[in-house]
Copies of this chain bind each other. A is one copy, B any other.
């Protein structure tokens, strides 16, 4: 019984993702595909357009066998912590392989590079310290250092997918028994795929823009049918949709009501950013305007969005230290018959507790995520269902 993991957000799930799931099964030859999926708050520091249950349903309909939630402490992070959480869950579930999208570079390249990085960690950290440049992103600094250290450039770090892929690979080689790696070159590898891409592989970003926010376009919604499975389209048209703007009043309120000192207890509120938050909060009339006011050369749009999630959810520095050591539990959002067989067979060997439904008994393993769910619900007051307590996994 072979298993292969994919790490996903499905915001929302579109044809590109269906292709990814299909390819993961083909390449790895796995019986069971385990999707580790971000919950209600995502890697770029945004609320998901529909809740984790809708997105888990999309995942099951599109070919995943098990859908497991990536805790919010990991899901709202740059590549390294995001990968630590996801790979940690896959290892805790005895997963055999991981398959990820890559703009360029084969799995062997990632493997090799991950080993190289593991062996040279002290040297790389030293270089980072010496050349620290707050004007450049972590990835571009790493790219520079690698170019200096390695004669052949195995994986370019100029695209988000490659950065994530490398982060999974790096995390993976830290385990005694690493998973096999598989990569899927995302677009344009042959004519067929290119055609699909142009016709039906709309990006998740483009899809969201048609559905929510200032660029919302009702006329385009019917067109979206072409770029995603029917199940995704159904979820999107029958559930409340949200964007950051739905949480803007709460964020604004929280930044207004907290003192500078209180803001500093929030995770990642460092280097005086709290002064800029306070400075611009009053005049900003939307989330987007707020971020564009606070943004400067030292801090990227994405980092600011993540910071706003930490403030909105009041994730504190002291709590995150603990939560980021490893995931506390395997929260099951959904499964099909193959997923059920996998659980039956393997559950006893899981190295973390499996939560099939959140109850008063196990809630201590899921504190920040329960909170994230409660706040997510407030984006459409009264319309979004309870996210955790007593919810049954989808079948």
Taking Cβ atoms with an 8 Å cutoff, the residues of A that contact B are: 249-250, 252-254, 256-258, 262, 282, 285, 312-314, 371, 374-375, 378, 381-382, 386
Closest to A367 in B: B259
Given A249-B249, A250-B249, A250-B250, A256–B382 Cβ distance below 8 Å?
no
Question: Assembly of this chain: how many copies?
Answer: 2
Q: Within the complex, which residue of B256, B285, B371, B378 is in contact with A252, where a contact is CB–CB below 8 Å?
A: B378
A249 and B374 contact, CB distance less than 8 A? no
A253 and B382 contact, CB distance less than 8 A? no
A374 and B256 contact, CB distance less than 8 A? yes
4 shortest interchain CB distances as A-B pairs: A256-B374, A250-B253, A257-B314, A253-B378
> Would you give 11 A-B contacts (Cβ < 8 Å), ordered by A?
A249-B378, A250-B253, A253-B253, A253-B378, A254-B257, A256-B371, A257-B312, A257-B313, A257-B375, A262-B314, A282-B386
Other than A250-B253, A253-B378, A257-B313, give 9 A-B pairs with Cβ distance below 8 A: A249-B250, A250-B250, A252-B378, A254-B254, A254-B257, A256-B371, A256-B375, A257-B375, A262-B314
**Bound complex: CA A374 to CA B259 (Å):** 12
Closest to A252 in B: B378
**Bound complex: CA A249 to CA B254 (Å):** 12
Closest to A314 in B: B257
Q: Hey, which chain B residues are within 8 Å of A371, CB to CB?
A: 256-257
**Bound complex: CA A375 to CA B382 (Å):** 23
